Structure 1
Amino acid sequence: MKNLTERDKKYIWHPLTQHKLNSDMLGIVKAKGAILYDENGGEYIDGIASWYTSMYGHCNEYILEKVQHQMAVLDQVVFSGFTHEPAIRLSEELINILPSNQQKIFFSDNGSTATEVGIKMALQYHYNRGNKRKVLLAFEEGFHGDTFGAMSVSGLSVYNGPFEDYFIKVERILTPTKENVGDILLQLTERLSQNDIAGFIYEPLVQGAAAMKMHDAEGLNMILELLNKHQVLLIADEVMTGFGKTGKNFASDHLPVKPDIICLSKALTAGLMPMGVTSCTQQVYDAFYSTDIAKGLFHGHTYTANPLACVAALAGIELLQSEQIQKDIRRVIKSHQEFGLKIKGHPKVAEIRQCGIIFALDLNIKMERYGRLRDRLFNFFMTHGVFLRPLGNTIYILAPYTITASQLKRVYDIIELALDSEV
């Protein structure tokens, strides 16, 4: 029998992969805590929590127990015309931890659909109120997913180049710094006079796919405040930042001005099941509440509010609020701070930055996003038992909260070894 890597090649088309350049996919057979195990007996510390999902560790026994129990009771049911206890409880728990202006929960399947729903809410909100606004505002270098609306508001052409002629209308602004926020506000003030911008979608504080680019919280809040005055709906894409990664439950908790709409996925279900959520204010919901059926939000997915995914999310929220996980978050934040102080003067480090448990360093080497250095770094880390996915010349860590001190030290040590070597 061929191994998984060889069998994979026959039929599977992988995401974000040019198969003519990268044909071998590593077969993973087991995961536990912060460790991935391959079919050859290799072990790897999961330094990015498998795309920021498994924040409480892989195969967390508490979450597994809850989902296993639910599987024997109710596995799946249509969510149009029916409801169920796990979805109701999850909506209650989410409203308890989301910013206080959030009042309604709309379920979907993943991060892209969560943002897709948010975009549609913003556009139809104004349409339903008799004031068509056809333009969306977004940050430069933002990333919001791979469906068409989500691609439209994303600013990374390496993902979206072939489709740009088909996008909805989007205008972009720079992310704020202390130096440029005044100019951004002046630009926006002039632009807003046209009254045609429906919504502003943004990754609050950290732009994940843009190599963990971090922006000024005070400047962002000033932008949100101005847009709010002009009835532009604020759509916070917290798919990556949500559920504790910035040191608070949500990145929006760091800002006085709260979003009208929030998009969630990834760590929502602790990496166990796919699910997306889009929350909104009562005001947004009320624009769809009508005796006119055409004013409803006609968006739905077969697995909307899947009971198993809801139970996984409930268990994850319970763990997030536990003293142990909060202690782990504080421990990882402090550990990153100490590592940053240690390496910030290294001659190969151009910049370090941190927001909560998200740590990133830029190499002082200019390169293409998918150049050979990125592949050499990735292979170097994997050879030394650490799973990290550099973004261009950026190395970042976004590990499970439950990663042990010794495992985290190993990640740091291998990064330092890479800096000191001729990778």
Structure 2
Amino acid sequence: MDDIESWFRKGLDHIWLPYAQMKTQPDPAPISSTEGARLNMADGTTLIDGVGSWWTSVHGYNHPALLKAAHEQLETMPHIMLGGLAHEQAYRLASRLSQVTPGDLCRTFFTESGSVAVEVAMKVAVQYAMNRTGARRTRFVSFKGGYHGDTFATMSVCDPEEGMHSLFAGVVPEQYVVDLPDTDDRAAALDRLLSGHDDIAAVIVEPLIQGAGGMHMHSPETLKALREVCDRHGVLLIFDEIFTGFGRTGEIFAADRAGVTPDILCLGKALTGGVTPLAATIASRKVYDAFHTDSPEYALMHGPTFTGHAIGCAVANAGLDLFENEPRLEQVRAIERQLLDELAPLSSQPGVADVRICGAVAAVEFEKDFNVNAARSWFIERGTFIRPLGTVVYLTPAYVIEAADLSSLTNAVSEFAESRVV
């Protein structure tokens, strides 16, 4: 690799980074290579990755099976359009997803990113009502603390008070954003909302864990209540499992852990183990049947250029092989036990508001705000990469992380809490 000055310093004057005030943010950590759960910096030092590149690298970086699949597909056929053409990897992957997802989720539409997968789910929900009855159901119910993406439609179903999107109030469509039905009173309020409005196409939720909104967690019973109320009022239920899908909660899908099947399921991130972009929107037979007619206007008119990207689908198929052949869920459950042992005691630490753990996710929430940029630098100085969300310091490591490396992460979080940096 070229000297760091030839790409990093020069590039900083031209790149626009995500979720960053470029004028005040400290320099990002330049990484030269990755391996397992580790990031190798350009200066030769190593960071233990506690975030997994926004929760994608569940199999660890550079897993040979994923790299082999990408390399072989690259040499054979990197990509062809799915409009009028077909390739094996996308068709095999769609078939396999219908087998591993719960219930009768049977038809997969591929996109390049999670946000677009949610956009497609919303589009499908609106058109489903029109195709079936001609009804104009154009609004959605989502939940406080939720996050579903940064594109315009997905911003509308995020928590409107959430800092990333509050500037766009009045620009994005107004939706019904309410409390999760995790109490009898809130469940009754949701029931009244659905019974009193005939413009609602679907309810959308991040099942069990609301990720980017702060790693808020709820029970399977909450999802069962959602399924019941949606069925009662003839409203579709969308699960956004872009974060929770593929083992993060201890089962392949959060839907499995809850025993609830949605009408539409959105997947991404861990689908390809962080190797390539790929996302999926999977519809139930009931939903798909509303589109499957002789009438062309009933078709789903959506088609990203790289839908069903051949390399991405090949890597995703290899990733499903790893879930079948390697002990991923056992690894997640071992991580959960270790996180409970090593972080749960922080709940009694002064300044700590809450400790939440589910599967390979841990969140330590602090009572007061702290400087997130300073905290990131603080963790890097201790050989870890941990990227807080507001007042929440969280861990979402690769499932293959060694116990000693996981302890290094939890020790860093504990030291952070005890140091009164906050």
Q: TM-score range by the shorter chain?
A: over 0.9
Q: Aligned partners of 1:105, 1:283: CA distance in 2, in Å?
A: 14
Q: Aligned partners of 2:222, 2:28: CA distance in 1, in Å?
A: 42
Residue matched to 1:75 = 78
Residue matched to 1:407 = 405
Q: Aligned partners of 1:145, 1:189: CA distance in 2, in Å?
A: 26
TM-score normalised by the chain length of structure 1: 0.94
- Letter of the aligned partner of 1:399 in structure 2? P
Confirm or deny that 1:312 pairs with 2:315: yes
Residue matched to 1:28 = 31
1:321 aligns to what SS in structure 2? helix
| Residue of structure 2 aligned with 1:91, choices 68, 74, 94 | 94
Contact residue 329 and residue 357 of structure 1 kept, 8 A: yes
Residue matched to 2:179 = 174
The 3 A distance-change label for structure 1 pair 23 and 398 is closer
Q: How many residues align?
A: 415
Cα deviation code 1:139-197 (max 9, x no counterpart): 012110011111111115412223222222310121233xxx21122222322233221
Q: Aligned partners of 1:240, 1:106: CA distance in 2, in Å?
A: 18
- Letter of the aligned partner of 2:392 in structure 1? T
Deviation at 1:421, TM superposition (A): 1.6
Residue matched to 2:191 = 189
Contact residue 37 and residue 49 of structure 2 kept, 8 A: yes
Gaps of 5+ in 2: none
Deviates more, 1:156-165 or 1:405-414: 156-165
- Letter of the aligned partner of 1:150 in structure 2? T
Confirm or deny that 1:253 pairs with 2:251: no
Deviation at 1:23, TM superposition (A): 5.5
1:340 aligns to what SS in structure 2? helix
Cα deviation code 1:192-214 (max 9, x no counterpart): 23322110111001001121001
Deviation at 1:323, TM superposition (A): 4.0
Residue matched to 2:352 = 349
1:420 aligns to what SS in structure 2? helix
Q: Aligned partners of 2:374, 2:305: CA distance in 1, in Å?
A: 41
Contact residue 176 and residue 215 of structure 1 kept, 8 A: no
- Letter of the aligned partner of 1:136 in structure 2? F
Deviates more, 1:302-311 or 1:150-159: 150-159
TM-score normalised by the chain length of structure 2: 0.95
Q: Aligned partners of 2:350, 2:173: CA distance in 1, in Å?
A: 44
Contact residue 38 and residue 49 of structure 2 kept, 8 A: yes
Residue matched to 1:136 = 140
Confirm or deny that 1:211 pairs with 2:209: no
Q: Aligned partners of 2:284, 2:178: CA distance in 1, in Å?
A: 25
- Letter of the aligned partner of 1:400 in structure 2? A
Q: Aligned partners of 1:408, 1:265: CA distance in 2, in Å?
A: 24
Contact residue 206 and residue 213 of structure 1 kept, 8 A: yes
Contact residue 247 and residue 328 of structure 2 kept, 8 A: no
- Letter of the aligned partner of 1:187 in structure 2? A
Q: Aligned partners of 1:188, 1:401: CA distance in 2, in Å?
A: 36
Residue matched to 1:275 = 278
Q: Percent identity?
A: 35
Q: Aligned partners of 2:185, 2:136: CA distance in 1, in Å?
A: 28
Deviation at 1:51, TM superposition (A): 0.4
Q: Aligned partners of 1:189, 1:419: CA distance in 2, in Å?
A: 41
| RMSD over aligned Cα atoms | 1.5
Q: Aligned partners of 1:332, 1:117: CA distance in 2, in Å?
A: 33
| Residue of structure 2 aligned with 1:419, choices 410, 417, 420 | 417
| Residue of structure 2 aligned with 1:302, choices 300, 305, 324 | 305
Gaps of 5+ in 1: none
Contact residue 206 and residue 215 of structure 1 kept, 8 A: yes
Kindly report which structure 2 residues correspond to 1:224-263, keeping only aligned pairs within 5 A, or say none: 224-263=227-266
Kindly report which structure 2 residues correspond to 1:344-423, keeping only aligned pairs within 5 A, or say none: 344-363=347-366, 365-367=367-369, 372=371, 374-423=372-421
| Residue of structure 2 aligned with 1:152, choices 120, 136, 156 | 156
Q: Aligned partners of 1:351, 1:51: CA distance in 2, in Å?
A: 22
Deviation at 1:345, TM superposition (A): 2.5
Deviates more, 1:86-95 or 1:235-244: 86-95
Confirm or deny that 1:161 pairs with 2:161: no
Q: Aligned partners of 1:376, 1:25: CA distance in 2, in Å?
A: 12
2:353 aligns to what SS in structure 1? strand
Q: After TM superposition, which residue ranges in structure 1, 4 or more long, deviate above 4 angstroms?
A: none
2:187 aligns to what SS in structure 1? helix
Kindly report which structure 2 residues correspond to 1:110-129, keeping only aligned pairs within 5 A, or say none: 110-129=113-132
